[in-house]
Amino acid sequence: MSGGPTSNLVADGRFIIPNKASLLAVTSDVEEPSVFCLNFASVVQKNTYSAGVLGHYFHFGQGATVSSGEPLLAKFKELDAVIFATKLSNAGVTYLYGITVEKLIEFMKSPPAATAVVDEMKLLQSWKLPNENLESLSKLENSETHKLIDYADKLISHMPLFKRLGIRNHTHAKAWAEKAFEPTVKKVLVQMEAAERTTAKERGHRAADAGDSAAGGAKAKERWALVQQALLTVNKFYDDPLIDRIIEVPIDETTGKPTADGVAKVKADLGCARHTHMLARDAHCLLLEYIHRARIYC
């Protein structure tokens, strides 16, 4: 974790912001496209505001933290689950994506061959957030009876979501979460296009129609080129590490409110080289608007 020690990433009014820079996949579902992201920020919802720039936020006070990209343990009221990623729908709904601990233990009783892939649709599932049954989300640890970290690594090595990107274990996952936005997007979309071409080829073989296969491949190439173009146009907004895109506004520890000096420092920082891609004047205005609206000066 980066940004501060937080054991439970959904406690005390926290919510999750998927990190689009840690892209794993883009679904081809036309009706409800979504993206899978490896890691995320955990922030206090009432203290978090948009900075008016894609992927950037104001956070009043400390406490914002970013997950490492390694698997996590989610404790629900009636089950425990190992979480591998987040899924963000086109409508802005966030889901946790993983497998129940019970299913993971069952999976390890008869693991697949080294080169095999699992059917993720049958084995894994999604949990919509916020979720009243979710009690905690924290670092995955081995239990007294089961080596859950090793189990998670084994499943990762067989999941198409990770396997096509060369991610074989939690160490690889952590390294992927630290990659820059542009190379991540390019590699993911190359693999997405390849998968769609394979599907088109198989469909052509089944129909004994080479033309259908070729047309499907050409369509895949065109579509994923457009997706890549769209994603890379926002590259400059997501290339900084997520923790740097959460702009902390200092608060007085006694009152819990920002001070004039603290706000002045943030305004100065918004004009520094690190944020040259931001429309600093607009960000300044938004920051002051939030403060004025909430009357939260000391």
Residues 38 and 140 placed together within one structural domain of the fold: yes
Among 179, 214, 232, the domain boundary falls at 179
Give me the domain span that covers residue 63: 14-179
pLDDT attached to residue 4: 55
Cα–Cα distance between 282 and 298 in angstroms, integer? 23
Residues 41 and 142 placed together within one structural domain of the fold: yes
Residues 174 and 257 placed together within one structural domain of the fold: no
List all residues 6 or more positions away from 270 whose beta carbon is below 8 Å from its beta carbon. Answer: 247, 278, 280, 283, 284, 287
Instruction: With cut-offs at 50, 70 and 90, classify the pLDDT of residue 209.
Output: very low
Residues 36 and 144 placed together within one structural domain of the fold: yes
Among 138, 164, 179, the domain boundary falls at 179
Q: Fill in the amino acid letter for 184.
A: T
Q: Give the total number of structural domains in the chain.
A: 2
pLDDT attached to residue 259: 78
Q: Is residue 221 part of a domain?
A: no
Residues 26 and 152 placed together within one structural domain of the fold: yes
Cα–Cα distance between 78 and 101 in angstroms, integer? 12
Q: Which residue has the higher pLDDT, 216 or 120?
A: 120
Q: Is residue 153 part of a domain?
A: yes
pLDDT attached to residue 91: 87
Q: Is residue 50 part of a domain?
A: yes
Quote the mean pLDDT of the chain. Answer: 84
Instruction: With cut-offs at 50, 70 and 90, classify the pLDDT of residue 118.
Output: very high
Residues 262 and 134 placed together within one structural domain of the fold: no
Give, in order, the Cα–Cα distances in Å from 255 to each of 24, 47, 265, 297, 298: 41, 14, 19, 9, 7
Residues 161 and 254 placed together within one structural domain of the fold: no
**What mean pLDDT is predicted for residues 176-191?**
93
Residues 36 and 153 placed together within one structural domain of the fold: yes
pLDDT attached to residue 36: 96
The answer on pLDDT for 207 being more than 50 is no
